[in-house]
Chains A and B, each alone.
Chain A
Amino acid sequence: GQNIDQPTEMTATEGAIVQINCTYQTSGFNGLFWYQQHAGEAPTFLSYNVLDGLEEKGRFSSFLSRSKGYSYLLLKELQMKDSASYLCAVRGGSYIPTFGRGTSLIVHP
């Protein structure tokens, strides 16, 4: 089976930096994805990691350590519009991504 853990909720201040962690236990590994989901909307793709290390994309970066079963999403220069749920998804031995429950991020002024 697969198990993916993320914090349920985080709060941060506009302009700050926030790190959202994800730990996973899977049978096999074929990549880890982060998605953003605003309330009432569909998830949208943010990042993909398959090798260890940091992937940077503008204000968002994602890190992966396969040996530790650990990833984080780093959001810099937070904006109010970043308030959303952030979903960690892992492709294990199959091609079917398994999603965590998501981390609800609240950005306040």
Chain B
Amino acid sequence: GAGVSQSPSNKVTEKGKDVELRCDPISGHTALYWYRQSLGQGLEFLIYFQGNSAPDKSGLPSDRFSAERTGGSVSTLTIQRTQQEDSAVYLCASSLAGEAYEQYFGPGTRLTVT
């Protein structure tokens, strides 16, 4: 079956521009997470969606970052007025609800801000 997909796979943008990153989770997975990973760093949590509950935005680094999840499926992460420190790999993961279920990660979007 299909895994988690993300698009684009690579994005190069100029400082100050807005970008949108897309995540298509596994069908039936109600939990969706966004992380980012910088070179040599661990996964930094950004935002978490679970079903129809209000998202947990506690990991968003600034108000330039926002995300939405439409119809409990596809999610879009938007970064406004990008900065060079936003350069990283943005990973999306989905899982079934419940603490025992593992996360399935997408291939990531490599964002480079020039």
Residues of chain B within 8 A (CB-CB) of A97 are 33, 45, 103
Q: Judge whether B107 and A102 touch: CB under 8 Å.
A: no
Task: For chain B, residues 3 to 43, give those with C-beta under 8 angstroms from any C-beta of chain A.
Answer: 4, 31, 33, 35, 40-43
Distance of A67 from chain B, by nearest CB (Å): 19
Task: For chain A, residues 22 to 51, give those with C-beta under 8 angstroms from any C-beta of chain B.
Answer: 30-31, 33, 41-45, 48, 50
Distance of B94 from chain A, by nearest CB (Å): 12
Tell me if B112 is interfacial: C-beta within 8 Å of chain A. Answer: no
**Given A44-B105, A87-B42: A96 and B33 within 8 A (CB)?**
yes
* B71-114 Cβ-contact flags toward A at 8 Å (1 or 0): 00000000000000000000100000001101111111000000
Residues of chain A within 8 A (CB-CB) of B107 are 41-42
Q: Judge whether A101 and B91 touch: CB under 8 Å.
A: no
**Given A42-B108, A100-B42: A95 and B103 within 8 A (CB)?**
no
A12 and B59 CA atoms in complex are apart in Å by 35
By beta carbon, the residue of chain A nearest B56 is: A96
Tell me if B48 is interfacial: C-beta within 8 Å of chain A. Answer: yes
Beyond the given A31-B100, A94-B56, could you list 10 further A-B residue pairs with CB under 8 A, ordered by the A residue number? A42-B4, A42-B108, A43-B105, A45-B102, A45-B104, A95-B31, A97-B103, A99-B35, A99-B43, A101-B40
Contacts from B to A (Cβ < 8 Å): 4, 31, 33, 35, 40-43, 45, 48, 50, 56, 59, 91, 99-100, 102-108
26 contacts between A and B (CB under 8 A): A30-B99, A33-B102, A41-B107, A42-B105, A43-B91, A45-B102, A45-B103, A45-B104, A48-B102, A50-B99, A87-B43, A91-B99, A94-B56, A95-B48, A95-B50, A95-B99, A96-B33, A96-B45, A96-B48, A96-B59, A97-B33, A98-B45, A99-B35, A99-B43, A99-B45, A100-B42
Smallest CB-CB A-B distances: 6 pairs: A42-B105, A101-B42, A45-B102, A99-B43, A30-B99, A99-B42
